[in-house]
Amino acid sequence: MGQSTNSDANIRELIAFRVGRQEFCINIMAVHEIRGWTAATALPRSPHYVRGVINLRGAVLPIVELAARLGLPSNEPSARSVIIVVQIAHQQIGLLVDAVSDILTASDANIQPTPDVSSDLVKTFVMGLLPVDGRMISLISLDHVLPQGEMEAA
The length of the chain in residues reads: 154
Report which of 125, 122, 40 is spatially closest to residue 77, judged by C-alpha positions: 40
**DSSP assignment of 94-133:** EEEESEEEEEEEEEGGGPBPPP--S-HHHHHHEEEEEEET
Indicate the residue among 9 and 153 with the shorter CB distance to other proteins: 153
Stretch that binds other proteins, among 8-16, 59-67, 99-107, 126-134 (CB under 8 A): 59-67
> Smallest distance, Å, CB 45 to other proteins?
5
> Smallest distance, Å, CB 32 to other proteins?
12
Which residues, 28 to 57, sit near other proteins by CB under 8 A?
38-46, 50, 52-55, 57
Q: Is residue 28 classed exposed, middle or buried when 0-12, 13-18 and 19+ CB atoms within 10 A define those classes? A: middle
What mask of x and - would describe binding to other proteins in positions 134 to 153, judged by CB under 8 A? ------------xx-x-x--
Among residues 27, 75, 92, 114, the one that binds other proteins under rule CB under 8 A: 92
The set of residues, in sequence order, having a beta carbon less than 8 Å from that of 27 and lying 6+ positions away, is 12, 13, 14, 15
Stretch that binds other proteins, among 17-25, 74-82, 89-97, 133-141 (CB under 8 A): 89-97
**Cβ proximity of 142 and 51 under 8 Å:** no
Q: Which amino acid is residue 15, in one-letter code?
A: I
Among residues 15, 93, 126, 145, the one that binds other proteins under rule CB under 8 A: 93
Binding residues for other proteins, rule: CB under 8 A, are 38-46, 50, 52-55, 57-62, 91-93, 146-147, 149, 151, 154
